[in-house]
Amino acid sequence: MSENCSDRDPALPIRRQVVELGNSLIREIAHEGMSNPDIIPLWFGEPDLPTPDFIIAASDSALRSGKTFYTPNLGIPELRETLSSYMSGLYEHDISLERIVVTAAAMNGMMMTAEALIDPGDNMVAATPVWPNFLRCVEIMDGQISMVPLIANPSGWQLDLDHLFDACDARTRAIYINSPNNPTGWVMDRKQQQQVLDFCRQRGLWVVSDEVYARIIYDQSLAPSFLEIAEPDDLVIVINSFSKSWAMTGWRLGWITCPRGLTPVIEKLNEYNVASPSAPAQYAGVTAVRDGENFVHTMVERYRIARDTIHQRLGSMARVSMPKPHAAFYAFFTVDGMDDSLNFAKWTMRKTKVGLAPGLAFGAGGENYLRICYAKSPEVLGAALDRLAPVLDA
């Protein structure tokens, strides 16, 4: 249905799409638990450690040397150059600066992607469960979502590409893939990426690939990226972030890589979204990428230990079934006897003082699951598992 004046409540005449937009169910749990310091909060997806000092120092020195002004809409050239050489090296594929736009975190990149791609009534096909915010961006633009659930099995999650392709119709504009995936830890392999790219090339569809967890992977050195197989002018947009790899969630800094022709479009949109990401954050970003490799590796090793603990201890609890997560820092698990993940997460929080995210928040295929974020210290995780055991291991 397209928007018209009669859709609006005369008392508060705002767009129907915005009125109907769901609230974040993850935030719903967090709102209930945040004011209680006794609760161990494992609902949000963020590293528990603060941004390292060498990154903070770069921002401090930028501020003190007068970097307090607007920057170009596309981001400062130093950061775009740094990201261009970082990604070209990582993926052994030339990724030129003209294809890179610095954004106010992945979230701003997602909103601009939806603004650029989605007309009212357009459809986007998404592999789910998935962190829901890009789906909401598409809905804000009055687009519709078709969700194609991953399939769980003990060794991991799988996507049936026939299901994905069958879900595309004449109104489909884009396929959205988030790999490494939040919440399941699923990683799409190179062969499937190539098949998705080939399909999208044939149909003239966009691939929107959310790769914010590209560096946080345990059983391979690097997650396959669409950037390794896409030609510079393919309709491929890769969304990235400083939040997870460099522990910078609060800085709101990310970037997108897109075909050259889209760069001026995103540049224009950024003027009307945030004008530019924060200047000191961008200087910090240059240092994070140039000098942060050891930090990234250290964090991944820390998460790997946490992943193994969660898989062994939580995965062996009597009521729990959990495919092994291969990447990101979440475990997504079912609980025998649970039929409403939101109510169960609320009840578990009251009973055990551990805050988990309800699977319902992540779309089709997630309803019967709970998500735990394990980017925490061994002490915090151990305490959370001790508290959960009487409920989940009974």
Which residues are at the interface with ligand PLP (CB under 6 A)?
A: 45, 105-107, 131, 178, 182, 210, 212, 241, 243, 249, 254
- Residue 253 in contact with residue 104, Cβ under 8 Å? yes
Residue 98's contacts (CB-CB under 8 Å, 6 or more residues apart) are 260, 263
DSSP string for 179-218: SSPTTT-----HHHHHHHHHHHHHHTPEEEEE-TTTT-BS
- Least distance in angstroms from the C-beta of 108 to ligand PLP: 7
> Closest by alpha carbon to 350, among 387, 310, 389, 394?
387
User: Please, which residue, 105 or 223, has the CB nearer to ligand PLP?
Assistant: 105
Single-letter residue type at 167: A
User: Please, which residue, 178 or 257, has the CB nearer to ligand PLP?
Assistant: 178
- Least distance in angstroms from the C-beta of 49 to ligand PLP: 16
User: Please, which residue, 33 or 277, has the CB nearer to ligand PLP?
Assistant: 277
Residue 384's contacts (CB-CB under 8 Å, 6 or more residues apart) are 40, 42, 354, 372, 376
- Least distance in angstroms from the C-beta of 170 to ligand PLP: 28
Residue 369's contacts (CB-CB under 8 Å, 6 or more residues apart) are 129, 183, 332, 333, 334, 341, 359, 362
- Least distance in angstroms from the C-beta of 202 to ligand PLP: 27
User: Please, which residue, 134 or 283, has the CB nearer to ligand PLP?
Assistant: 134
- Least distance in angstroms from the C-beta of 109 to ligand PLP: 8
- Residue 101 in contact with residue 263, Cβ under 8 Å? yes
- Least distance in angstroms from the C-beta of 280 to ligand PLP: 17
User: Please, which residue, 136 or 311, has the CB nearer to ligand PLP?
Assistant: 136
User: Please, which residue, 45 or 315, has the CB nearer to ligand PLP?
Assistant: 45
User: Please, which residue, 213 or 333, has the CB nearer to ligand PLP?
Assistant: 213
- Least distance in angstroms from the C-beta of 329 to ligand PLP: 10
Kindly list the distances between the CA atom of residue 34 and the CA atoms of 45, 50, 121, 159, 353, in Å, as whole numbers in the listed order: 15, 19, 37, 35, 11
- Least distance in angstroms from the C-beta of 319 to ligand PLP: 26
* Angstrom distance (rounded) from CA 103 to CA 383: 37
Query: Is the preceding peptide bond at 180 cis, omega within 30 degrees of 0?
Result: yes
User: Please, which residue, 134 or 313, has the CB nearer to ligand PLP?
Assistant: 134
Single-letter residue type at 321: S
User: Please, which residue, 71 or 182, has the CB nearer to ligand PLP?
Assistant: 182
- Least distance in angstroms from the C-beta of 91 to ligand PLP: 19
- Residue 206 in contact with residue 200, Cβ under 8 Å? yes
Residue 34, class by beta-carbon neighbours within 10 Å (0-12 exposed, 13-18 middle, 19+ buried)? middle
User: Please, which residue, 74 or 392, has the CB nearer to ligand PLP?
Assistant: 74
- Least distance in angstroms from the C-beta of 213 to ligand PLP: 7
Kindly list the distances between the CA atom of residue 196 and the CA atoms of 122, 166, 205, 222, 233, in Å, as whole numbers in the listed order: 19, 12, 10, 19, 16
Q: Which segments of the chain are extended strands (E)?
A: 40-41, 100-103, 123-128, 144-149, 151-153, 156-158, 172-178, 206-210, 236-241, 254-257, 320-321, 330-335, 354-355, 357-358, 369-373
